[in-house]
Structures are given as structure tokens and as C-alpha cells.
A and B are shown apart, each in its own frame.
Chain A
């Protein structure tokens, strides 16, 4: 009753083999595409920033639809909530056969109080709650075929365009949150800064982030290969993106463009010379959406899981005061 291969060892590797003719292995790519398109995608994004920085407008511009309701519209209550409250809205959007379930979590009340201590706590709690929900589903004995994913894949943090430095609130928040979620900082309402001011502001922010060892998305540690690194380095040079949001269309040179109309001109949102909104959109949606999800799943969720599963072991360890070797290598299934 012997099996030739012991489970922990892989069978002998006979190396790369030449194919003498067409086999059809690459059809698996097509199969995969079809399968994922049938299943649909989920994407959860969170926007954080003080009120009035244009968060809802930005989200609407990103997804070209009325995803969030702006707080400044007539008929809406213009009350600043006493504590940070999180509101999630879920929509299904479809483009060229690809269905996406988009959830946008807004955080009105963040940074709006006089005393803003611990205003990040409700946000951290929310993010951890989503991880917890996923963890619970994952360790069930009879689990669902597809575990519903409500974990926050990306958190867009809006920096007010002061042009000076990052404020203590910004630093505190980004420091804490970059450990548990992908943080993408953006300079909001960037049309109040000239291009030079913008550049200097960015440099100062980058230096600040580096000085405080805050790693925002795309994180350097997760670059997989030189191509990735090259691509991400270019992005990292430009972080944080200076964005302007707009949901109204105007006529410019005979074309209808999204933009903000002011007395001194029309700021075209999608014009790379005017603002960096296209770059943000490309990063978040067109090129790195899957990467955001993967890093959330493989890194942030895993570290949450490790913390959570170790939590329940701690009290046990102290009462057992022996067998130290068993928990150190983390193998809990050695029962």
C-alpha cells in the first residue's frame, strides 16, 4: 500500500519538454476568460477625506455614472455627522459583457470634527469587519462555492490641496491604514494648484511618506518581476495623483468633454495636460484592478488571518507553558 510520491514532496521534475506539434494548451486562457466573465467581478472601493473635497464627484467621474449621491446637492441634508459614519452603496455595472459588482464606501464626517482623535477607528473597524466576514465564510466546514467578497480592495485618500505638507491627520491615517489595506492617495481639487506648485507639493508629500515609512499602493515589496517594477516605479514617481472631478459635459473644440467650467477656462478632466485623472483611472481600473484585489487577498487578508488565528492561541500558550516549538512554526493543524 505505498504511494510513490509522499505528499509533501513534489514528484521528480523532468524539466521543460519540447512539443512536437500543436497541442492546444493555450486554449485554457480562453476557457478562463469565459469562466470569469460568466462569474462576474466584485470590486470594493472606499473613499476617505474631509467633506467638500469632491469624493462623490470623483467616484461618479471614475465610473461614469451616478454611483454616489453628492452631499452638496439641493435637497440633501447638509449636516456634518457627529461621528464618522460609513455608508456603502452597491451597484452592478456592465461593459462589453463584463459584469462588475461595485461597492463604494463613503466616510462622511472624517476629519470634520474639532477633535479628530481616533476618527480612523470606525474605518479600521469596518475594514476588519469585512476581513472577519470573509474569514468566517472561509473556515466553515460546508462552504459556499463562491465566498462573497466584501473586503475593501482599495482606499482612495483625498489630500486637501494646501500645497504645503501632509497634515498630522493625513500622516496618522495613512500610516495606520496602509498596513491593512491598499491606500491610494490623491490630491483633491487640484485645479487650485498651478503645475509647479503641484510638482513641489508632490515631492514634499513623497518625502513625507518616505520619512514616515508609509507604503502606499503600489507597494514596492510586492513587485513581482522587473517588468512590474519598472511599471510601478513610473507610477510611484507620480503618486499622489492630482485629480479634478467633474460630472458635467461641456463643449470644447466641437467635442463634448467632461470638465469644470470656470470664468477663466474649462478644465478638462480627461486631458492629461490638465489633471491626472486619466492616470488614476487607468491605475485603478484599467491596469491594476486585479492587482489591487490580489494584494488584498494574498497579503492584507492573510496578515489579518494570521493575527486573528494567533489571537486565540495566545491565552492557550500561557497556560500550556510547554511545547514552545509547536506554535512557532505556525502549524496549527498538528493536532
Chain B
């Protein structure tokens, strides 16, 4: 019921006319409106920090955000790699940032490091999964959903000065399609300047030859493209972190004090910390969030939906096929459920029958025993009857004899009672 007019000869290449305005309309406030809305909502930023124990992760985060997050040093004896996540809320002027820092615990400590990267991949996938689940719900509240997807991964490489470790290669390879990776060289104050250049070159060439995609700062926007290109050439950043302050001149600066000198964290000649902070927070935070959402999340979503069996088949079946697929799946699931229920019920009936049989048998046995006992009881009784009768007869006989004896006693001599007595005793 709607037609689009616009086939003027002066049409632009996308078929849309560009109209000149004859006065101030006022929609140039649109970006501000948008920004105000975002300020009200607050921003969410999630950082994943991967590095071996003692590589300086916590100190780096503390230095980056100029605050001290609670962290005690962790031991080297964890049996497997875990992830520790903590949420913080930072305020600066009118911006509220909900920062989540996830760091690995026990990375690179185990003797067998085969499974080291798996928990990390699982965690990242779990965050994508949670978002996907929320998006697929019927009644969803996606606009105030607290986004937990990891926006950037700071990978801290140990400052050996030689090359990437196998563990690093493996981990980064498994993560590069899921998250924006920014490789850093931690504790860079242990490498000299010349060694550092060589090390960086070696690292970059290794990354390229292994086909690992690290995050490139965007160079398509004129405002930031120049600085981003320069920064891209400085990757990986060699950083030093510190939360202690040292007095240099008349200023207190974050630094590490050695007997041979002071390494200043925010001095560009000493390390790339300032560059990292610039790039990460001031210039590209928004881009990191966007890349995560439009590239990594979409990839995950695509793979996952295909896994679940959905397809975008022909052009007229698009949404229907999704729902039909849902339908089919639900039906299949329900049938499966029914089948399992039947099975369980059959098994149950079977078991009941068996048990009944067993019980019946037992009952019969008991019955037989009972009858047998009854029989025996009867026999015993009869025996006793007989004995009783016999005894009674004997008593009767004895009484008769007694009567006879008493009769004789009234007539005869003295000796008979004695013999009678003896007889009586004998008889008894």
C-alpha cells in the first residue's frame, strides 16, 4: 500500500533526493540527544587480561584506571586456569563507566599446559551465549541488558626478548576470532631499547606468519586515522605498570625506583603506557565495543544458529523458516520426551512385575513352610494325646491297685503295707 516517489532526474546514486534547507531546523542536536541518553544509561566496558602469573596484570590495570582495585598476589600453584572477574563503577565528570575486569589466574603455571586456553575460550563463549539467549527470548529487555561480552583482550607477553611462546601462539590463535586482541609486552623495563625494537619486530612477524589477527586501530576516520596508523606501528606496546609514586623534580609521578634509576610509567621515552591508555580509552573505546558487537558477536551468533539447525533458506521463507525450525525442533523434542517417558514407564512396569513375581514366590514358600509347621504341630499334638491317654490309663490302673491294696489292708498283717509301699514306690 505504499509507494516511494523519488524518480527525479536529480536523484542521488542511492535514489534519494538531497534537499536544501532554507533555515535552521535544529536536528543538529541529534548527536547530543543520543549522547545524553547514553550518559544516563552509563557505559559498559569489559576487559580480559591474559598473562602468566606475575606478568603484571593487576598492576597494569591499576595504573590504567588510576585507581587501586583490590588484588592480592596470587600463588603459582593453581591446578588449572581460572578466570576471576570483578565489576567496578568509575565516575569521571558526567560519565559513568561500568568496568568489568576479568583476569586469568594460574595461566601458564601448570606443568601440562594443554588445556590452559580452554577456560578462557569457554568464558568468552559463555558471555556471547548469554547475550544470544537474551536476544532470542520472546519477552526480552535487551536495551537495559548488562553487557558482559568481552570488548578487549589485553594479552601480556613475557619480556623474554626472544619470541612468542608456544602457549601464547596457541592461546591467541584460539581467541583471535572471538575477541579484539591487543598484545602487550609486560614488565618492559627489563628490556633495553634496542632489544625492544628487535623483539617487537620479531613478535609482529611471528603473529603475521601464524595468521593471528590482532586488533588494528581503525584508520578510516580522518580525525583519528593518522594517530591510529602511527600507533598501529608501535604494537605490541611495551608497558610498565606501577601504583607507587616517586618524586621527580617537584612532581609526584607513578614510577618504579631502582638503584640505577627511576622508570617513569607515564614517560613516553620509558615505555608505551601512555600510548596504550590513549588508544584503549581515549580514542578507540567506542570502536572496540562496536567491533565486538558487529563482528565477533555476529560471527558467534551465525555459527551458533547454524549449529542449532536454522537456515536462511529462500527469500520468502526467511522468518517463517526460523519459526518453523523452532516448531519442528519443539515437536521433535516433545516426541523424544514422550518416547523417553514411554521407555521409562515400560521399564518401570517391567521392574514392578519382576518384583511382584519375586514376592509371590516368597509368599508361596512361606505358605508351604507354614503348612509344614502346622502338620508337624498336629503330629506333635497327636503324640502328646497318645501319651496322655497312656498316662491316664496307668493312673487309673494304679488307683485300682491302690484301692485293692487298701481293701486288703483292712483285713491282713503288718508286713504288707511295707511291701505295698515298696510297690507303690516302684510303680511311681
Residues of A within 8 A of B (CB): 1-8, 10-29, 31-38, 41, 43, 62-67, 85-98, 100-101, 105, 122, 125-126, 129, 135-136, 139-143, 145, 224-225, 258, 281-282, 285-291, 294, 297-298, 302, 305-306, 309-310, 312, 316, 320, 322-323, 330-333, 335
* Contact present for B1 and A32 (CB under 8 Å): no
Given contacts A29-B35, A136-B319, A281-B26, contact A65 B19 (CB under 8 A): yes
CB of B5 closer than 8 Å to a CB of A? yes
CB of B86 closer than 8 Å to a CB of A? yes
* Contact present for A23 and B334 (CB under 8 Å): no
| B18 cross-chain contacts in A, Cβ below 8 A | 91-94
Interface residue tally for chain B (C-beta within 8 Å): 111
CA distance A221 to B129 in the complex (A): 31
Given contacts A35-B290, A126-B2, A141-B311, contact A96 B136 (CB under 8 A): no
In the complex, which of the residues B33, B69, B278, B330 contacts A291, with contact meaning CB atoms closer than 8 Å? B33
* Contact present for B329 and A335 (CB under 8 Å): yes
| B2 cross-chain contacts in A, Cβ below 8 A | 86-88, 105, 126, 129
1/0 per position for B120-158, CB-CB distance to A under 8 A? 001100110110110011111001001010000000000
**Taking the nearest CB of chain B, how far is it from the CB of A189, in angstroms?**
22
* Contact present for A28 and B285 (CB under 8 Å): yes
Task: List 6 other contacts, CB 8 Å, given A3-B123, A90-B6, A290-B33.
Answer: A11-B87, A13-B89, A43-B27, A63-B19, A258-B23, A281-B26
CB of B88 closer than 8 Å to a CB of A? yes
Given contacts A21-B66, A286-B29, contact A335 B138 (CB under 8 A): no
**Taking the nearest CB of chain A, how far is it from the CB of B134, in angstroms?**
9
Residues of B within 8 A of A (CB): 1-6, 12, 16-35, 37-40, 43, 64-67, 69-70, 80, 82-95, 97, 100, 102, 105, 115, 118-119, 122-123, 126-127, 129-130, 132-133, 136-140, 143, 146, 148, 221, 223, 277-278, 281-287, 290, 294, 298, 301-302, 305-306, 308, 310-312, 318-320, 322-323, 326-327, 329-331, 333-334, 337
Q: Please, which residue of chain B has its CB at the minimum distance from the CB of A98?
A: B28
* Contact present for A11 and B26 (CB under 8 Å): no
Given contacts A3-B122, A23-B65, A286-B26, contact A331 B138 (CB under 8 A): yes
CA distance A29 to B96 in the complex (A): 11
* Contact present for A11 and B86 (CB under 8 Å): yes
Given contacts A10-B87, A145-B294, contact A310 B281 (CB under 8 A): no
| B119 cross-chain contacts in A, Cβ below 8 A | 1-3
